[in-house]
């Protein structure tokens, strides 16, 4: 979700009932060296609780990054609630550096990273993993146990291997196996696109919670509708076109005000408008639009 879960998006989904949000991936090394762009990823709209999601493969650097962030937070910089170590990102530029899902190949290093983070942070340390690096080397249960023994407070499991990226179906039976193997809470992730998916997987897997990622793009209502379904047993209707467009326009202008640019909104607006009559042509024009006002005009024409 790089380029997606910025401060504006986190505030939006939190307003719709998301119980916990995560930053974009933050390079531990870049944070240690004071990279300004890295600190921009940590902007927040006072939405709590939220987790800072680190990536990196050097225990000492990770500990130093957490210490630096905590020092900034102590000065009113970046208050946050949870440390998250990403061990699941499948993208080549991350994996080829030994980060993200590449860590699934090294259980010893996983333990060292978690121990370093736990030693450096007064906040809970969590990890996100996949089922393994390849179908032949699935080791999610082993990695989850290592994380638990090293002091992790929670494990998030995406139900695919690194080799799968996001293709095929997420294997929730294997997420369930991780839940059965460890004592700390387990959050399941993968293929949650409608409230019915969330309810089904929550009940069938035995997980302590559900993470929604791609399913939230253009669809913050998945949180409010799922929460209502859990609390009442009744599924609220999906939003109409007018509500979707109004939310998209609000999101668009919030990003324009915060960042001074709108290019990142193209993928968001594509998700908001998917399936609407005339949306394919509208998206072509949106992708060429130069201003937020141009994008708004094109969105309003869809109502």
Residue positions annotated with a catalytic role? 89
Report which secondary-structure segment, H or E, holds 158.
strand 154-158
- Computed on alpha carbons and rounded to an integer, the radius of gyration of the chain in Å comes to 20
| Residue 165 contacts residue 158 (beta carbons within 8 Å) | no
Count other Cβ atoms within 10 Å, centred on residue 233. Answer: 8
- Provide the sign of the torsion angle of the four alpha carbons 177, 183, 184, 185, taken in this order: positive
219 HSE (CA, 13 A, CB side)? 19
Q: How many CA atoms lie within 13 A of 24 on its CB side?
A: 18
Strand partners, 128: 86, 156
User: Computed from CA positions of residues 277, 283, 284, 288, in that sequence, does the dihedral angle turn out positive or negative?
Assistant: positive
């Amino acid at each position: 979700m790089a380029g997606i879960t910025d401060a504006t998006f986190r505030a939006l989904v939190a307003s719709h009932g998301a119980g916990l949000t995560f930053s974009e991936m933050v390079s531990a090394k870049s944070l240690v060296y004071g990279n300004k762009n890295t600190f921009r990823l940590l902007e927040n709209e006072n939405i709590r609780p939220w987790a800072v999601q680190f990536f990196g493969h050097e225990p000492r650097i990770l500990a130093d990054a957490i210490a630096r962030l905590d020092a900034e937070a102590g000065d009113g910089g970046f208050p946050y609630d949870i440390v998250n170590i990403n061990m699941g990102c499948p993208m080549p530029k991350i994996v080829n550096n030994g980060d993200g899902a590449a860590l699934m190949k090294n259980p010893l290093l996983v333990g060292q990273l978690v121990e370093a983070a736990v030693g450096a942070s007064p906040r809970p340390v969590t990890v996100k993993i996949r089922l393994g690096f390849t179908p032949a080397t699935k080791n999610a249960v082993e990695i989850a146990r290592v994380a638990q023994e090293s002091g992790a407070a929670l494990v998030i499991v995406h139900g695919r291997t690194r080799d799968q990226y996001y293709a095929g179906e997420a294997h929730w039976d294997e997420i369930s196996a991780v839940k059965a193997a460890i004592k700390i809470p387990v959050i399941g992730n993968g293929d949650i696109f409608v409230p019915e998916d969330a309810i089904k997987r929550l009940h069938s897997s035995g997980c302590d919670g559900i993470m929604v990622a791609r399913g939230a793009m253009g669809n913050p209502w998945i949180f409010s509708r799922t929460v209502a379904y859990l609390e009442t047993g009744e599924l609220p209707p999906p939003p109409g076109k007018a509500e979707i467009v109004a939310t998209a326009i609000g999101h668009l202008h919030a990003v324009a005000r915060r960042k001074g640019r709108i290019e990142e909104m193209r993928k968001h607006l594509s998700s908001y408008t998917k399936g609407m009559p005339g949306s394919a042509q509208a998206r072509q024009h949106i992708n060429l639009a130069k201003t937020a006002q141009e994008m708004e005009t094109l969105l309003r024409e869809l109502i």
